[in-house]
Chains A and B, each alone.
Chain A
Amino acid sequence: MLRLYFVVFYGQERINKAVKTHIHESPNGMLIPLYILAALSIVAGIMNAPEIFHGNKWLENFIAPVTVLSGIHLDHATEWFLMSISFLCIVMVGVFAYDKFVKKGKVPQNDEALNDSTFSKLLRDKFYVDELYEMLIVKPAYSFSTLMSTFFEEKIIHRATNGAGRLTLFLSGKIRKTQNGFISYYLFAMALGVLGLITIFILF
């Protein structure tokens, strides 16, 4: 972050003339949200200032239900320790970056021009995390998704629900055939029915 900041705003100019004439302060449309964001980030920090600064935990109260349960309380020493460590780190990196990009006026080269140690390259390519991520997570996730939506959702869930309806309709078509319109058949069925009912009655 600090590298970005120093290079863009304080580093050597490396803009050509034509573009330079266009540089001006951002329009209000961009500035106002920026101001608000800047202000908010400070406010947000203060709102929930650590206990040693007698912070009153406004933020915590906002989302009171969340913090009620977390119940983590750090003692002051730990708070001091954590704060100083992170602050020190920031200061150190800041000094380094200022030294490198502002004082020495070093300009980062284009990526193609770089031909340095493997470690830098590894860093520059973000440890190949993107590629790994693409290969290990994104692609499988998408193909899994396609599988689920075409197979499981369509073939099992929808088919099970629609199938219940279809089965009933199918049965309907079959059972309907018993109503064939022949009166002799009907009378025969009736006689069978009487016999059946009497049998059931005697059996049970």
Chain B
Amino acid sequence: MNILIIILLPFLSALLILLAGKDYSQRIALISAAASVIAIGVMMALFDKDATTITSIDLPWIKSMGVHFHLGADGLSLLMILICNVVTLISMYVSLGDTFSQHRLYFALLLLMQTFMNGVFTAQDLFLYYIFWELALIPAYFLLLIWGKGKDVKPATIKFFLFTLLGSLFMLVAIVWLGNIGSIADFSLATIYGLEIGTQEQLFVYGAFMLAYGIKTPLFPFHSWLPDTYTLAPAPVTIMLSGVMSKMALYSIIRFVLPVVPDAVEQYGIYVVYLATIGVMYASVIALTQKDLKRMFAYVSIAHVGLIAAGILTYSVLGIQGSLIQMAAHAINTVGLFFIAQILFRLKGNFDINCFGGLRQYMPVFAGLYMVIMFGSIGVPLTNGFVGEFIIFTSLYRLDVFAALIAGSGIILGAVYMLTSYQKIMLGPDTDTTLTDITNSDKTLLYCIACIVIITGLYPSWITSLCDVSVQNIIHPYLQK
């Protein structure tokens, strides 16, 4: 199965939507997103788990700069593009529930975002990767700018863009440096992995990369753009940002930071682990008193990605595997939560937790599904959040007891605010008797998400076995040579 298909399919669909004489945008977008998911399903079915990479395309692009248009996927990339495309499909489906002005442009931008994110996850050339990485920001920027709600959208969006651009440009300097160490400029991953870099230089590269990824993930002191952005964005865009864009950075840490500058990670990884775990605690504490449901979920998201980043930077097979499971779990859970927030928003026209109450009596199915997804997010055993969290904790504990303790208390706090908000919204005195349960289409989607939550919780080892070879390669690059 050719990987090019998941780049071309959404890209061409986007062009089709923009250029078609008539407006079939919704249909084209949904079909394209579903087809991408199926394509990845086929790819995964055919994937040989012991293969390191399936390279589907490798064309020289900019010869004078040694840049190749080189796409390929190993288990790790497959997992990421699976997440990306499933989330996109969900996002498209959620979009159908609301009306958007200029919806042709809207769906085209969503598809473009999907294209570029798929590119990020499959690029085997550092320069190409950077281009996709930067490009993925553009549709997000316009989606936020045009369809974001609230009067602060413009400054918030510009802040988001500038903040991430700042990080990316530092990364660009590092990439330029890495690609030109040899006598001939070469950005292919195989070459970059093979470089012998001095400790001092490794530290600079590590710093530049981690700045970019720290902002995009986001890690603790760099998260300032996130709450506003997530809150003001329309629900499907929030879903894309939280579900996929944050994973872009986490994936990149695994793919580019760990194997390229192993000594720096060995030495200075612990600081980022501390930063990340403090972030877990910090975001959880702040989430505790948030009145706005979407904003609260935004902080929940910060806490969870912080934990994932900490897991990755333990620089152990265990931590990375746990993080991968947790990435898949977080993508689904956070998407579910933001979708729930959107359903609640449609009921009352705002996200204030205090204006809901007693919904369970009128919406039992919704309440049940909400509970399942929430349990997933908290990490109750037998849901998808549990296994990953547990493994990450174990790896953290082995690295540094203190970090594990901080992160652990953060996650416990997480359970507190999630349950409290659930209690406020679903239980308690009812405020409105005219409500009926959610529509069938919403129900279907929530059922699907809940199923994924439970199935992944019961059987998470497909992720570890899918990514095992890639992770081993990343942790022990020298064994493979």
Which A residues are within 8 Å of any B CB, using their own CB?
61-66, 69-70, 141-142, 144-146, 148-149, 152-153, 157-158, 160-162, 165
Contact = CB atoms under 8 A, between A and B. Distances in A.
Nearest to A141: B288
A157 B221 contact: yes
B413 interface: yes
A148 B461 contact: no
B159 A148 contact: no
A172 B287 CA distance: 37
Contacts of A145: 285-289
Contacts of A158: 224
Contact of B282 (A66, A141, A146, A148): A148
Given A66-B387, A66-B391, A161-B224, A146 B459 contact: no
Contacts of A66: 387, 390-391, 394
18 contacts: A62-B458, A62-B459, A65-B321, A65-B325, A65-B464, A66-B391, A66-B394, A69-B318, A141-B285, A142-B288, A145-B286, A145-B289, A148-B285, A148-B286, A149-B286, A157-B221, A161-B159, A161-B163
B290 interface: yes
Contacts of B288: 141-142, 145
Given A62-B461, A65-B391, A65-B464, 15 more contacts: A61-B461, A62-B458, A63-B387, A65-B322, A66-B387, A141-B288, A141-B413, A141-B416, A145-B288, A145-B289, A157-B221, A157-B224, A161-B163, A162-B159, A165-B162
A165 B156 CA distance: 12
A153 B461 contact: no
Contacts of B224: 157-158, 160-162
Nearest to A150: B289
A69 B460 CA distance: 16
A124 B124 CA distance: 65
A64 B461 contact: yes
A145 B221 CA distance: 17
A121 B390 CA distance: 38
Contacts of A144: 285
Contact of B461 (A65, A69, A152): A65
Given A62-B459, A141-B413, A149-B290, A165 B391 contact: no
A137 to B, nearest CB: 9
Contacts of B221: 157
B225 interface: yes
Contacts of A69: 318, 394, 398
B367 to A, nearest CB: 14
B391 to A, nearest CB: 5
Interface string B450-469: 00000000111100100000
Contacts of A62: 458-461
B150 to A, nearest CB: 16
Nearest to B317: A65
Given A69-B318, A165-B159, A63 B460 contact: yes
Contacts of B321: 65
Contacts of A160: 224
Nearest to A153: B286
Contacts of A152: 282
B157 to A, nearest CB: 13
Nearest to B282: A148
Contacts of B318: 65, 69
Contacts of B387: 63, 65-66
A160 B221 CA distance: 10
Interface string B219-250: 00101110000000000000000000000000
Given A65-B318, A65-B321, A65-B322, A146 B461 contact: no
Interface in B308-360: 318, 321-322, 325
A98 B162 CA distance: 70
Most chain A CB within a 10 A radius of its CB, from B162, B224, B458: B224
Given A64-B461, A65-B387, A69-B394, A142 B289 contact: yes
Contacts of B461: 61-65
Nearest to A156: B221
Interface in B282-296: 282, 285-290
Nearest to A44: B382
Contacts of A146: 289
Nearest to B162: A165
B372 to A, nearest CB: 12
Contacts of A161: 159, 163, 224-225
A57 B387 CA distance: 16
